[in-house]
Amino acid sequence: QVLINGAGGSAGSFAIQLAKRAGAVVTGVDGPHQLDFMRSLGVDHVIDYTREEFTTSGKQYDLILDMIAHRSVFSLPQALRPNGVYYVTGGAVGVLLQTLVFGGLIKRTQGKHVRMLIVPQSRADSIAMSELCAAGEITPMIDREFPLQEVPDAMRYIAAGRAKGKVVITIV
């Protein structure tokens, strides 16, 4: 059982595909405008964060991957199964600091892992991802393309939180 918070965004769309490829049952969390997009990527369950809070739903997950952390780390253990793992990849600085400072304490007191996911880039990983894309096993989802002169518009579009996958800047 995997939950991906921010699943409708760029990194989330890759995370969904990789988790499904690994055989996971995936729950995607995002806003109402992203639900159909997440379904199109194969999520098994969707949560509209404007209507449901996954940390208080009573459901538990083996892995939570949080792309846009903004909740206190102390609200997360109840959403994890015993020995479950929560990874934050980005978000509010306060949450990132909480993760670093209190992650070990949560592990010792509750038996649940709360960690930052920091993956150094490697040539081997880039090649492996490229091969998966070339084989059609995962698909980079491109929402929109903007010409170079419209970068400010592209940034506003991304900041609005409605991009479904990658936003590409074309240089021609």
CA distance linking residue 76 with residue 71, whole number of Å: 8
Q: What is the mean pLDDT of residues 144-168?
A: 91
CA dihedral 61, 13, 37, 7 (to 10 degrees): 40
Q: How confident is the model at residue 163 (pLDDT cuts 50, 70, 90)?
A: confident
- Boundaries of every domain in the chain: 2-116, 141-172
CATH number of the domain at 2-116, please? 3.40.50.720
Could you give phi then psi for residue 143, rounded to 5 degrees?
-80, -60
Q: Is the dihedral of CA 157, 160, 161, 164 positive or negative?
A: negative
Give the model confidence (pLDDT) of 87-101 as tens digits.
999 888 888 889 889
Q: Is the pLDDT of residue 162 over 80?
A: no
Beta pairing partners, 69: 91
Please provide the DSSP assignment of 83-109 as one string.
EEEEEE-SB-HHHHHHHHHHHHHHHHH
Give the model confidence (pLDDT) of 136-151 as tens digits.
999 988 999 999 999 9
CA distance linking residue 23 with residue 117, whole number of Å: 21
Single-letter code of the amino acid located at 109: T
Q: Is the pLDDT of residue 121 over 90?
A: no
pTM for this prediction: 0.89
